[in-house]
Amino acid sequence: MASVSNLFIGFVAAMIGVIPPGLLNMYAAKISMKEGRRKALMFSLGVCTTVIIQTFVALIAARYLDRHPEYVDMLQKVALGIFICLTIYFFFIAKDTRRNVPKDMQATKAARFFSGMFIAFLNLLPLPYWVYISITFAGFGWFTFEQPGLWAAVLGSGLGTFATLFIYIQFFRKKEDRKRLNVNMNFIIGGITAAISVITLIKILQDMGYGL
């Protein structure tokens, strides 16, 4: 049961938070439009490979922190500040994601796979993100760092990332499909970070003895 919970948390958390805002998802969409769905899928597989590695490293670090609770309280308060800042950034500062996707040169499937790995590697957000997510849900008793639950979460993160990229690839199969997207993704992501901030605040208040 713990493995199922970890898999579900890994999948959902990856879908809503692991993918860098307006970078990997829109890049996959651009490849789908310019070069076809197969190359876009290879790019997505490269991204997922890196995300799986990042998630594993982050969960190992989170397991250490979970065994040293003296660091967890400080981490939660720092995370709350970070996610509040991210919420403000995505709502009021970040550029509109509805802008045109930049052009790029054609590449082979293998090149797209490794470019996906490389671009995802440049994004370090999944590392603190997964440390925070895992410790927070572990505090609620919904997440475990024991085997095989840890591997289930890693697998879920890869599947969730691929699922989201696949949605973008399918949505932008044709150039004219891009006209359908008339929503600033930053507002959606800002809403997600705001929700995470609320969850973090509730956990901090509970730890301080204020029942909610």
- Would you say residue 72 lies in a domain? yes
Q: Is the pLDDT of residue 104 over 90?
A: no
The whole-number pLDDT of residue 185 equals 59
Q: Confidence class of residue 43 from pLDDT cuts 50, 70 and 90?
A: very high
The whole-number pLDDT of residue 176 equals 47
- Would you say residue 81 lies in a domain? yes
Concatenated DSSP letters of 25-83? HHHHHHHHHHH-HHHHHHHHHHHHHHHHHHHHHHHHHHHHHHT-HHHHHHHHHHHHHHH
Strand, helix or coil for residue 165: helix
- Would you say residue 40 lies in a domain? yes
Q: Is the pLDDT of residue 82 over 50?
A: yes
**pLDDT tens across 129-187, in order?**
888 788 888 877 889 888 888 999 999 999 999 998 988 888 766 554 555 555 565 67
Helix (H) or strand (E) holding 129: helix 126-139
The structure tokens 């999948």 sit at: 11
Q: Is the pLDDT of residue 57 over 90?
A: yes
- Would you say residue 212 lies in a domain? no
C-alpha–C-alpha distance, residues 110 and 108, integer Å: 5
Give me the amino acid identity at 124: L
The structure tokens 């150039």 sit at: 175
- Would you say residue 185 lies in a domain? yes
- Would you say residue 115 lies in a domain? yes
Q: Confidence class of residue 189 from pLDDT cuts 50, 70 and 90?
A: low
Choice among 33-42, 86-95, 137-146, 163-172 with the minimum mean pLDDT: 86-95
- Would you say residue 121 lies in a domain? yes
Range of 15-24, 50-59, 125-134, 165-174 with top mean pLDDT: 50-59
- Would you say residue 117 lies in a domain? yes
The whole domain housing 135 covers: 2-207
